[in-house]
Structure 1
Amino acid sequence: MKSPANPTTGLRQYLKTEFWIEATAAAMMALGVQVFTAPNFIVGGGLSGIASVLFNVFGWPIGVVTFSLNLPLLLIGWRRLGRRFLVSTLRMVAYLSLMTDGVFARIPPYRGEPLLAALFGGVLVGAGLGLILMRGSSTGGTDIIVKLIQMRKPYLSLGRIVLATDLAVVLLAAAVYRNIETILYGAVMIYASTEMIDGLIDRADARKLAIIVTGRGDETARALMEELRRGVTVLPATGAYTGESRSVLLCVVEIRQLFELKRLVGRIDPAAFVVVANAAETLGAGFKPIGPP
């Protein structure tokens, strides 16, 4: 019988790995918004863009407003995307709010050339968001909407989906600022952010082929299908040295899902053998169609 998981071990592992990535991503996004875009009346889309408008109009803290606006969408994430997604997203929303109001609010804002503010803000926000999306998580807000769309249409570019949602927020903000230059700078920021996101995760079009040799094939295959929503092919095999029966699992995933695949396999069978190869093109259900419909 398996021993129950040790919460202390899980927390220690999280602090060694994911915490630093999440904190770094939140810091980059908070720096981009609090120091570069919001002080220059540049709206970059998302709930942070709405919070920036409220900050400039009413003086409300960006982090607190962002956290408050996220609560309804987090409930949607709970119903549609599951508990683990909610927990990781809630962490990111909390980190982002704390970084925005508690750390970078104390740094003097950049009030120089607006074009530079738009470019640097877009690069920082895009880099932070790209890091989080690559790990299958979210920073809340419109990211949840992006995640739901991407689940239904996995072949769409995440960067382009983000671009569409951000443009909608910019158009709404235009009614408040009524400054065409501010909107144009916002478009520059969104473009820089989109290019940064795609620069990090657009390789997902190439995808990865995972070949997993494990003695717990059924359990591993079930976890991959249920949690990653990817098909798995199971082949019977025998170890040449040990003579023991094994299963060889073939699973094609997007690059952003590779971290989660390795985590799942390691959790179920730490003794598994995993080979990851590039899949230059993937055709079939869930990917690109093999031929004309």
Structure 2
Amino acid sequence: MGKSRNKAVVVRRMIQSFLLITIGALLMAAGLELFLIPNKIIDGGIVGISIILSEITKVKLGILLLVLNLPFLYIGYKQIGKTFAFSTLYAVAMMSLFTSLLHHTPVFTTDSLLATVFGGIILGAGVGIVIRNGGSLDGTEIMAILLNSKTPFSVGQIVMFCNVFILGSAGFVFGWDKAMYSLLAYYIAFKMIDIVVEGLDESKVLWIISDKSKEIATELMSNLGRGVTYLNGEGAYSGEEKKVIFLIINRLEEAKVKSLIDDIDEDAFLAVGHINDVKGAHYKKKGLH
């Protein structure tokens, strides 16, 4: 009974993931075909290369998207895992299909700035949804992950270098004003991906060290309506035992928390970090107990 239930849960999650990947691929295709491409604005990565080659060779964009991503999918399968590779293959296939279906759809606007902004937002939302569900829509990310272990550059630096080269190349094909719009669209999409992947309700983690930790903890619980956690600490120089307050908040509560701490102990040590994901009912209701 337990095994069959677990299997049902796995199947349900898989169906949900592929449904969301389909929606993400559709959004990216819509951002491209309804806003960016008709206005000669491109995205970065394999998508950008595909758009440039499609303009030069007149080969359908959907075909180029699939063909150019295949080598990276094979590498991803060998180096990262078959689940990631299969999810990415499905996402790329859906994106290729949707770009072909939407290719002759009337455009929403011929204003380059509007197309840049809204195209970037829609495209970024689509990519973010796919990433959150274990896939990818661009082979350059796979390449960057693999090169990261063999070069002194980070994944972000490798992706940025590739995209600056690709977006710069757009100037020779579509004109330099379109290349600048493309760079703006890429930036908007990049920020939108962060919002979708990390969530609008961005969480932060706080570590607070103070001689008045109990007073601070009581005030935080009273004003925020959530619990805090004590961690046992010890000063390396003094050898004194300290109570470290551990607390997770959302970004809108940060200013309030800092104000509460300053009112009790201006000399309190406070460290703030970003968290991409938080799970558990305690955080949602009363914090971490």
**Shorter-chain TM-score range:** 0.5 to 0.7
Among 272, 276, 289, the alignment partner of 1:255 is: 276
Unaligned 5+ residue runs, structure 2?
206-273, 285-289
Q: Provide the residue aligned with 1:93 in structure 2.
A: 92
- The answer to whether the 8 Å contact 2:124/2:190 transfers is yes
* Distance of aligned partners of 1:255 and 1:172 in 2 relative to their CA distance in 1, 3 Å threshold: same
* Distance of aligned partners of 1:81 and 1:11 in 2 relative to their CA distance in 1, 3 Å threshold: same
Shift of 1:89: 0.7
* Distance of aligned partners of 1:82 and 1:157 in 2 relative to their CA distance in 1, 3 Å threshold: closer
Q: Provide the residue aligned with 2:176 in structure 1.
A: 180
Unaligned 5+ residue runs, structure 1?
209-252, 263-273, 279-293
Shift of 1:109: 2.7
Q: Which segment drifts farther, 51-60 or 28-37?
A: 51-60
Report the AA paired with residue 113 of structure 2: L
Q: Provide the residue aligned with 1:145 in structure 2.
A: 143
- The alignment status of 1:38 with 2:37, answered yes or no, reads yes
Counterpart Cα distance in 2 of 1:50 and 1:276: 46
Q: Provide the residue aligned with 2:249 in structure 1.
A: none
Counterpart Cα distance in 1 of 2:198 and 2:11: 31
Shift of 1:110: 4.1
Counterpart Cα distance in 2 of 1:78 and 1:149: 15
Shift of 1:3: 6.2
- Tell me the C-alpha RMSD between the 2 structures: 3.8
Q: Provide the residue aligned with 1:290 in structure 2.
A: none
Q: Provide the residue aligned with 2:267 in structure 1.
A: none
Q: Provide the residue aligned with 2:192 in structure 1.
A: 196
- The answer to whether the 8 Å contact 1:28/1:128 transfers is yes
Shift of 1:73: 0.6
Report the AA paired with residue 173 of structure 1: A
Counterpart Cα distance in 2 of 1:163 and 1:34: 24
- The alignment status of 1:48 with 2:47, answered yes or no, reads yes
* Distance of aligned partners of 1:54 and 1:110 in 2 relative to their CA distance in 1, 3 Å threshold: farther
Shift of 1:202: 4.8
- The alignment status of 1:60 with 2:56, answered yes or no, reads no
Question: Helix, strand or coil for the counterpart of 1:34?
Answer: helix
Q: Provide the residue aligned with 1:14 in structure 2.
A: 14
- The answer to whether the 8 Å contact 2:32/2:123 transfers is yes
Counterpart Cα distance in 2 of 1:187 and 1:110: 20
- The answer to whether the 8 Å contact 1:163/1:191 transfers is no
Q: Provide the residue aligned with 1:73 in structure 2.
A: 72
Q: Provide the residue aligned with 2:165 in structure 1.
A: 168
Counterpart Cα distance in 1 of 2:26 and 2:190: 18
* Distance of aligned partners of 1:199 and 1:4 in 2 relative to their CA distance in 1, 3 Å threshold: closer
Shift of 1:98: 0.9
Report the AA paired with residue 198 of structure 1: D
Shift of 1:12: 5.4
Report the AA paired with residue 94 of structure 2: Y
